[in-house]
Structures are given as structure tokens and as C-alpha cells.
Amino acid sequence: MYEDILVPTDGSTGASAALAEAIELAAQFDATVHSLYVVDVASVGAEAGTVDLIESFEQMGEDATEAAATRARDADVEATGSVATGSPHRAILDYVDDQGIDLVVMGTHGRTGLERYLLGSVTEKVVRTADVPVLTVRADEEGGAESDEAADGDAGDEPT
């Protein structure tokens, strides 16, 4: 059903949660996971040092997408990683067209947004305009009840 699944990543926990979901789907469908990081050149500006800054974002993107591909391969899923430049939602949609992507899996939120918004702006634009299905994944909240449970401990053979 799905052969090529795109997971746009910005290195956030939201993108990481999306990757976990994408890897499970890809394993089911014997699909390839494509990890893509977009260097948002407009957000970098045009002052002195811009070239260095873009290069460091590219390096970060290469590290992030390579780590994502490695995570997929560790789960016996075929994977690729790439870095693009431009406006993130446009670069994502271009990649969908160019690579014949049939499903996009992405975080509801990313690095920069406020959690109170329903959806991050990149995800919102992709959901609204992509020609293929888009699965959005919300990252679990950090912490949670687990530590409380651990604190309660295993009471064992406590008399009743």
C-alpha cells in the first residue's frame, strides 16, 4: 500500500515520534523511509556570517537525517536521508513529487512552535496542500506518571 514514506525532520521530539510511527508502518508495508531536513534559508537572514550559518544548518541536517536513517535500518527498514534548502513546506512538497512519496508522517509540533497551537505552521501547510495522505504524530509529554509509579514502589508482601 505504501512504498515510500517521507518523514520530514527538524530534530525535534515531535519529528522523532513521527519517525517511530513511520518505521513501524514501513516495516509492515516493506516500504522505504525517507528522512528530509530542510534548511530554512529565509529564517537565517542575509547578514555577515550567513554562509557559515547555512553550512552549520546543513551539517546539522545531515547528522539528523543520517541518525534517522540509521534508526530505520536498525529496525530492518530501508532508509535514505537528505537535506534540502528553501521554505520547509515547499521543499517537502517538492520532495513528495520528485520521489514519488505516497505517505508523509510528521510531528504535530517541531522545534520552534508553541504547544498551545493545534499544529505547527509547517505541518499545517503540508496537511492543507499535499496530494498524498499526511499522518500527524503528537509527541508524548515528557516525564509523566512513570516516575510516580516507581516512587510508589513494589510494595510486595505487605500485610493487608
Burial of 13 (0-12, 13-18, 19+ CB in 10 A): middle
81 touches ligand ATP by CB under 6 A? no
23 touches ligand ATP by CB under 6 A? no
Residue 34 or 109: the one with the smaller Cβ distance to Mn ion is 109
15 touches ligand ATP by CB under 6 A? yes
Q: Can you name the residues that pair with 4 across neighbouring β-strands?
A: 32
Q: At its nearest, how many Å lie between Mn ion and the CB of residue 117?
A: 11
107 touches ligand ATP by CB under 6 A? yes
121 touches ligand ATP by CB under 6 A? yes
The interaxial angle of helices 50-74 and 13-29, nearest 10 deg, is 40
The interaxial angle of helices 88-99 and 121-129, nearest 10 deg, is 40
Residues that bind Mn ion (CB under 5 A): 110, 112
